[in-house]
């Protein structure tokens, strides 16, 4: 496993230190340590129930960990007071599994919401930015559509657009291609790569869609429910072919021989 | 046979659960009150579109059921009172009894109970569904306080509309009472109005309206709080909705009892 905790003077986009998470007294993941450098696309991978989404929700500040610390661009989201937490949260965008679009608002209003609530931008400026974000996810012309009128893939792309509303440098995608057909899933992967190319954002995804992982991820952090922690960490193709852990090799081999986005042995 | 130790453990669990509920409610009331105060200081930050939407759903949409329930309540009250008072030849007191009872107690109480069933449960269901579909998480991670975004427009809408519904309920309830007086005793309208004016002070009407403001606060607070406390399983929203109605009615009746005593002390025993 790569050592991700080597001394690095620049703050990582995300740094997890000695993190233990769980519910009540039940520990789900114990003593996690990793860093995610700016500009990487990193996937948190693991079997069902291993705590992937729970880890994501801790990193974005929705849950308090049992122990340890999480630094977002060098600032702790665990010890921050409410005001500072909101300030840290304004630095990232999150696209949830089901989209989490507000059903009483149309698409344009959904994307404009964080701009209206958190900035002093004029209406004209907000309209312009909403159009830009919709263009980025290929949804121009759908401004007036309500979430209930959109397909699953369109909802996911709209959620990406809303996550991008305030031009964050850090994006979190929870199961972006879950429940979508392969073609729509392909399209979403292209959108994710385009977002990275145009915004240079750091992207952290939680998914177990292996084709998507091989297409977009620079690096995979593999979790195990049995070991309650990280079992391996590296580029998807490298882990599939060379991981010391048989579980990791088997898991990633189920994705076939997809060509990895990354040719590096280890991006950590 | 049940082990006594299990019962003690069960009692302990219930006590902890109750403590959690109380702490959560107090914290929620504080959060919402702070958000309301922020709204007063910065009215531009109120979501006016949502406010108008909830004004419509809490107010005009609830008028037909309010009219029906209030009118029937007036009719039932008048029939029951008439049977008793007729025995003692006290028919002339009936308009006063009907007016006082409806304006001070039954009007605000029944309208609040109807509003709990309509709006309080809807608030709980709406927020509960948003919680399950991660919309509340989305608000939090955008740095937007869900209470300001979701509760404040509902609260202002209820604070404006419930007193208006109560005024309608008072009027229709008294009209229902008059229909019985007219049909059973042949009492003319001018006599009914004169006797009502003699026995019913304006302060009773104001008391009822003030109560409705407090009830509006309770209904919105309880409905939204239960929505925020919704669990994540399939029946969680249904449970929150039921719980919102039951808790809200309990709080309304308790508050009504407290306010009844408070106003009686305030007026003095002369009324």
Tens digits of per-residue pLDDT, B91-113?
Answer: 889 999 999 999 999 999 999 99
The pLDDT tens digits for A72-124 are 999 999 999 888 888 888 889 999 988 899 988 999 999 999 999 888 899 99
CA dihedral angle for residue B231, residue B233, residue B234, residue B240, rounded to 10 degrees: -20
Number of structural domains (chain A) is 1
Please tell me what DSSP assigns to residue A260: P
pLDDT for the residue numbered B69: 96
pLDDT for the residue numbered B270: 58
Distance, in Å, from the CA atom of B124 to the CA atom of B131, rounded to the nearest integer, reads 10
Q: Are strands A26-36 and A14-23 parallel, antiparallel or unpaired?
A: antiparallel
In angstroms, the separation between the Cα of residue A149 and the nearest Cα of chain B is 17
In a domain, A15, yes or no: no
Whether the predicted pLDDT of B167 surpasses 90: yes
CA dihedral angle for residue A122, residue A127, residue A132, residue A134, rounded to 10 degrees: 140
Nearest Cα residue in chain A from B45: A117
| A84 touches B: beta carbon within 8 Å | no
Q: Residue-wise pLDDT tens for chain A (268 aa)?
A: 444 445 556 788 999 999 999 887 788 999 999 999 999 999 999 888 888 989 999 999 999 999 999 999 999 999 998 888 888 888 899 999 888 999 889 999 999 999 998 888 999 999 999 999 999 888 988 999 999 999 888 998 999 999 999 989 899 999 888 777 888 888 888 888 988 888 889 999 998 888 889 999 999 999 988 888 999 999 999 999 888 888 888 888 875 555 555 545 444 4
Domain span including residue A142? 39-63+91-253
Average pLDDT over residues B262-270: 79
The pLDDT tens digits for B204-257 are 999 999 999 999 999 999 999 999 999 888 789 999 999 999 999 999 999 999
Contact B134 A97 (CB under 8 A): yes
In a domain, A136, yes or no: yes
In angstroms, the separation between the Cα of residue A145 and the nearest Cα of chain B is 18
Instruction: Provide the token pair at B246.
Output: 């039951």
In residues, how long is chain B?
Answer: 271
In which band, very low, low, confident or very high, does the pLDDT at B177 lie, cut at 50, 70 and 90? Answer: very high
> 3-class secondary structure for chain B?
CCCHHHHHHHHHHHHHHHHHHHHHHHHHHHHHHHHHHHHHHCHHHCCHHHHHHHHHHHCHHHHHHHHHHHHHHHHHHHHHHHHHHHHCCCHHHHHHHHHHHHHHHHHHHHHHHHHHHHHHHHHHHHHHHHHHCCHHHHHHHCCCCHHHHHHHHHHHHHHHHHHHHHHHHHHHHHHHHHHHHHHHHCCCHHHHHHHHHHHCCHHHHHHHHHHHHHHHHHHHHHHHHHHHCCCCCCCHHHHHHHHHHHHHHHHHHHHHHHHHHHHHHHHCCCC
Q: What percent of chain B has pLDDT over 70?
A: 98
pLDDT for the residue numbered B1: 61
pLDDT for the residue numbered A268: 41
Q: What ipTM did this prediction achieve?
A: 0.82
- Chain A hits for B134, Cβ within 8 Å: 96-98, 100
Look up the CATH number of the domain holding residue A102: 3.40.50.300
In angstroms, the separation between the Cα of residue B43 and the nearest Cα of chain A is 14
Instruction: Provide the token pair at B256.
Output: 């009504």
Nearest Cα residue in chain A from B47: A117
The pLDDT tens digits for B119-132 are 999 999 999 999 99
- Chain A hits for B133, Cβ within 8 Å: 98, 100
Average pLDDT for chain B = 92
The pLDDT tens digits for A120-147 are 899 999 999 999 999 988 898 899 999 9
- Chain A hits for B137, Cβ within 8 Å: 57, 62, 94, 96, 100
pLDDT for the residue numbered A263: 45
């Amino acid at each position: 496993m790569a050592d991700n905790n080597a001394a690095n003077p620049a703050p990582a986009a995300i740094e997890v230190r000695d993190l233990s998470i769980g519910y009540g007294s039940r520990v789900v993941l114990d003593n996690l340590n990793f860093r995610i450098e700016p500009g990487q696309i990193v996937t948190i991978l693991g079997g069902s129930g291993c705590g992937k989404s729970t880890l994501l929700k801790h990193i974005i500040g929705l849950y308090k960990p049992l122990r340890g610390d999480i630094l977002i661009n060098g600032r702790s989201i665990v010890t921050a007071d409410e005001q500072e937490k909101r300030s840290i949260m304004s630095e990232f965008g999150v696209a949830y599994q089901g989209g989490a679009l507000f059903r009483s608002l149309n698409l344009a209003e959904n994307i404009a919401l964080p701009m209206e609530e958190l900035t002093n931008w004029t209406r004209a400026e907000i309209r312009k930015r909403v159009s830009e974000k919709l263009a980025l996810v290929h949804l121009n012309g759908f401004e007036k559509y309500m979430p209930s009128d959109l397909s699953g893939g369109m909802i996911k792309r709209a959620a990406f657009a809303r996550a991008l509303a305030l031009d964050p440098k850090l994006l979190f995608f929870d199961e972006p291609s879950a429940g979508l057909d392969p073609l729509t899933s392909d399209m979403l992967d292209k959108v994710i790569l385009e977002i990275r190319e145009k915004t240079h954002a750091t992207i952290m995804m939680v998914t177990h869609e292996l084709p998507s992982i091989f297409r977009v991820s620079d690096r995979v952090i593999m979790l195990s429910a049995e070991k309650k922690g990280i079992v391996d960490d590296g580029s998807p193709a490298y882990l599939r072919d060379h991981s010391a852990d048989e579980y990791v090799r088997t898991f990633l081999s189920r994705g076939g021989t997809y060509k990895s986005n990354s040719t590096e042995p280890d991006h950590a | 046979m049940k082990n006594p130790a299990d019962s003690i453990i069960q009692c302990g669990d219930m006590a902890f659960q109750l403590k959690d509920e109380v702490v959560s409610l107090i914290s929620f009331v504080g959060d919402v009150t702070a958000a309301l105060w922020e709204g007063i200081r910065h009215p531009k930050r109120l979501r006016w579109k949502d406010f108008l939407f909830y004004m419509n759903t809490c107010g005009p949409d609830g008028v037909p059921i309010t009219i029906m329930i209030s009118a029937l309540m007036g009719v039932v009250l008048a029939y029951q009172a008439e049977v008793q008072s007729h025995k003692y030849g006290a028919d002339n007191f009936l308009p006063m009894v009907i007016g006082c009872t409806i304006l001070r107690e039954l009007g605000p109480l029944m309208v609040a109970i109807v509003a709990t069933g309509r709006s309080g449960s809807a608030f709980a269901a709406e927020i509960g569904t948003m919680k399950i579909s991660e919309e509340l998480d989305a608000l939090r991670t955008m740095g937007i306080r869900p209470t300001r975004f979701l509760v404040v427009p509902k609260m202002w809408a209820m604070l404006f509309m419930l007193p208006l519904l109560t005024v309608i309920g008072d009027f229709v309830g008294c009209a229902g009472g008059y229909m019985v007086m007219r049909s059973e005793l042949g009492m003319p309208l001018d006599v009914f109005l004169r006797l009502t004016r003699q026995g019913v002070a304006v302060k009773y009407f104001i008391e009822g309206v003030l109560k409705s403001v407090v009830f509006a606060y309770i209904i919105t607070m309880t409905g939204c709080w239960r929505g925020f406390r919704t669990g994540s399983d399939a029946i969680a929203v249904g449970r929150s909705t039921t719980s919102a109605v039951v808790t809200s009615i309990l709080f309304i009746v308790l508050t009504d009892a407290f306010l009844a005593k408070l106003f009686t002390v305030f007026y003095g025993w002369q009324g």
